Structure 1
Amino acid sequence: MSEKVLMKGNEAIGEAAVIAGCRYYFGYPITPQSELIEYMAKRLPQVQGVFLQAESEIAAINMVYGAAGAGARVMTSSSSPGVSLKQEGISYIAAGELPCVIVNIMRGGPGLGGIQPGQGDYFQATKGGGHGDYHCIVVAPNSVQEMAELTVHAFNIADQYRNPVMILGDGALGQMMEPVDFHDLPVIPVEKPWATTGMGEREQPNQIDTLRLNPEKLEEVNNTLQKKYALLQEREVRWEETFTADAELVLVAYGISSRIAYSAMELAREKGYKVGLFRPITLWPFPKAALEKAVDKAAAVLTLELSAGQMVEDVNLAIRCSKPVHFYGRTGGMMMSPQDVFDQIVKIFATKGGK
């Protein structure tokens, strides 16, 4: 496709996955990501791919495990409680060092919650989620265009580092429609000599296993994983910053919240308040050094989330608690407005005696 196409965010992820070479999708429907599974059901047969609606989220993630082990580019998707059910399988996939893409279009929680947008899965996505010392790479788009771009990127780096990648979106981004340009998305093929594709000319078969009863061997595996995670923190950190050079207050937000924050920042600038915006694009690895530098000259930070304040911890860690970190959020599927954020900005400036 060389022209822009008006698509929902969920559909844009699906088309980008096909462009990236994904030919296997296993999932189970749940709002607000059902358009993605519907899109893959229609699209994959057109490219000789395999779509399968599993009997459960648990079954789906284990099918992903099998396809990834065979070297396929494979994806699953769900929303908050469905991703919770996948966590054991995600831990297995990370332990087996298998590449795959997992999409979470977050809804309000906890529990079954509601189908409106939320960002309450930040801890689950960035702090592991399942058992053991492992990490998913986590990317957070803030537009339908970026949902497409980061999907292709997710498949590329999943293969490069042999690691699961999670695309952390939300119900607003999944449902909103925007023009998308699929032209020239960089697809990077990766050789997979480790894949379980039969003996071929090998002397020994490839084997993927996550049960290691010898503690010395298991520690070796963990050490290998930690070295990979350290490399990811050096190489694969992404962020975007706007007007941070002279900002007295830096807003920190990701996903849909960052778009609301941007509008609030523009409003504040019009009123004479020196406000900047820092947007993490990779939530893990978190852009710690970049954020610390971005707030160097600021007096304070305001973190904005559709949660009770989960990213606040990473913000405080990144800036080493050197500045006051304020928080404003909405929960349960409620959305903040630019005016709501602007009102918070005015309150923070008032506490230090004006602009």
Structure 2
Amino acid sequence: MPKVLMKGNEVIAEAAIHAGCKNFFGYPITPQSELVAYMANRLPEIDGLFLQAESEVAAINMVYGAASAGVRVMTSSSSPGFSLKQEGVSYLAGAELPAVIVNIGRGGPGLGNIQPAQSDYFQVTKGGGHGDYYTPVLAPSTLQEIVELTKLAFDLADEYRTPVVLLGDGMLGQMMEPVEFTEEDMKVLPEKKWATTGTRGDGAPKVISSLELNDVNLENHNHTLQSKYEVIKQREVRFDTYRADDAEYMVVAYGTVSRIAKSAIDEARENGIKIGMIRPITLWPFPEKPFEEYRDKVKAFLSVEMSAGQMVEDVRLAVNGKAPVEFFGRTGGVIPNHSEVLEAIKSLAGGGQ
């Protein structure tokens, strides 16, 4: 298929449709409202179901209902709206229901503004809602990668019976790039025998719930969930590296910030600084392997984020004291520019020599 020029939010929606999503429940909030509008136009064309809910809370509970019936379903929001969904996300995780939840992050805390931010990292990687649970989190850096990771999000959700978060930011949602939608064979996934589609008199009724009043039973269920998360951590870690083979210093960045970091790395290389980058693609599970490989080889790491410093905590855990870890970030929707990142790299190299 030929490449088409599209906005990021619309790419997510079209990629979801290509992945077999025919159900969407959402509520408009900037800077992801185009995703909702696109789904409102496209889903009726493929005999799908679009419903604008009265709130983010309503939307995530509608997702719970559709997921219980075994269909591929998605919702989307931005930071304050994503916060409102957290109880429902916990319910989805507790009931082991597959769904894809898109968060196009914006500046906070509170209502904040509509500019890009990465300050939802803690929320998406540490559970976000109540209880001991995790959701796989995918963080694309380009619109073409959105196409690939959106399909992956649905596949992971179905394979592991879990909600999956696709995390972007206002810049990724609003930018335009050419993308290609390729027709691929659907991954063979487990049959959804658990779905509440009726038994037609064959077997006991199917019940889906996250309620368990017996403490021992609930503990056993928690053990089951934790075992599943361990499997995900073993199988589904994804990351990318850039100019890392001979690096003496290492930037760590994800999403759109990694694009800014790349150009700063290239210029730093021209100035004689041997620096590379580790780009986490799965924020949970966090990719510890490349840090284990490079932490004895490089002099220092620099975590670059659009936050006050959140991913840097996971970077420090992965480095495990083997090298210094520094941080550079901008907050409140301010996007770090190329020159600022370059100066942070120079400072890192000057301090690490």
TM-score w.r.t. length of structure 2: 0.98
Query: C-alpha distance in 2, partners of 1:107/1:186?
Result: 35
Distance 1:185 1:327, change over 3 A: farther
Is contact 1:118-1:170 (8 Å) kept?
Answer: yes
Gaps of 5+ in 2: none
Distance 1:272 1:294, change over 3 A: same
Query: C-alpha distance in 1, partners of 2:305/2:185?
Result: 31
Q: Does 1:270 align with 2:270?
A: yes
The within-5 A match list for 1:225-264 is 225-264=225-264
Residue type matched to 1:86 in 2?
Answer: K
Name the counterpart of 1:43: 42
Query: C-alpha distance in 2, partners of 1:96/1:237?
Result: 24
How far is 1:177 from its partner?
0.2
How far is 1:186 from its partner?
5.0
Query: C-alpha distance in 1, partners of 2:304/2:244?
Result: 16
Query: C-alpha distance in 1, partners of 2:124/2:346?
Result: 32
Name the counterpart of 1:181: 180
Name the counterpart of 1:102: 101
Is contact 1:253-1:279 (8 Å) kept?
Answer: yes
- Determine what percentage of the aligned residue pairs are the same residue: 60
Task: Please state whether the residue corresponding to 2:85 is helix, strand or coil.
Answer: helix
Residue type matched to 2:284 in 1?
Answer: W
- CA-atom RMSD, angstroms? 1.0
Is contact 1:244-1:295 (8 Å) kept?
Answer: no
Name the counterpart of 2:147: 148
How big is each residue's C-alpha offset from its partner over 1:231-276, in whole Å with a ceiling of 9 and x where there is no partner? 0000000000112221111000000111111111111111111000
Q: Does 1:326 align with 2:319?
A: no
Name the counterpart of 2:111: 112
Query: C-alpha distance in 1, partners of 2:72/2:321?
Result: 41
More moved, 299-308 vs 286-295:
286-295
Is contact 1:92-1:210 (8 Å) kept?
Answer: yes
Name the counterpart of 1:78: 77
Distance 1:226 1:352, change over 3 A: closer
Is contact 2:31-2:104 (8 Å) kept?
Answer: yes
How big is each residue's C-alpha offset from its partner over 1:175-225, in whole Å with a ceiling of 9 and x where there is no partner? 000010101345325321110001135310111011101111001110000
Query: C-alpha distance in 2, partners of 1:206/1:45?
Result: 30
Aligned residues: 352
Name the counterpart of 2:14: 15
Is contact 2:257-2:306 (8 Å) kept?
Answer: yes
Is contact 2:264-2:338 (8 Å) kept?
Answer: yes
Residue type matched to 2:68 in 1?
Answer: G
Query: C-alpha distance in 2, partners of 1:284/1:186?
Result: 26
How big is each residue's C-alpha offset from its partner over 1:296-343, in whole Å with a ceiling of 9 and x where there is no partner? 310000000000000011001111121110000000110111111111
Query: C-alpha distance in 2, partners of 1:261/1:186?
Result: 35
How far is 1:290 from its partner?
2.2
Residue type matched to 1:286 in 2?
Answer: F
Query: C-alpha distance in 2, partners of 1:189/1:54?
Result: 32
TM-score w.r.t. length of structure 1: 0.97
Distance 1:327 1:185, change over 3 A: farther
Is contact 1:152-1:187 (8 Å) kept?
Answer: no
